[in-house]
Amino acid sequence: MILTVTLNPSIDISYCLENFNMDTVNRVTDVSKTPGGKGLNVTRVLSQLGDNVVATGLLGGILEISSEVA
């Protein structure tokens, strides 16, 4: 088993658009929030490669957003 520790995780926010047009208002069709940061990205890749991985770390700041992602 591999244990990863992420001391400074982030929340990656992606905005999806159907089309992007310069000099006009572009409307977002979907928003996705995923946990990110180097430690979590390594954990994700190791898991995809078939390793048994457990991710740990520290969370702080805006708990509403953090709990949505978890």
Domain edges within the chain: 2-69
Does the pTM of the predicted model rise above 0.95?
Answer: no
pLDDT digits (tens, 9 = 90+) for 52-65: 999 988 777 665 55
User: What is the rounded (10 degree) CA torsion for 55, 61, 64, 66?
Assistant: -20
The whole-angstrom separation of Cα 49 and Cα 38 is: 17
* DSSP 8-state secondary structure symbol assigned to residue 60: -
pLDDT digits (tens, 9 = 90+) for 9-55: 888 899 999 999 999 999 999 999 888 889 999 999 999 999 999 99
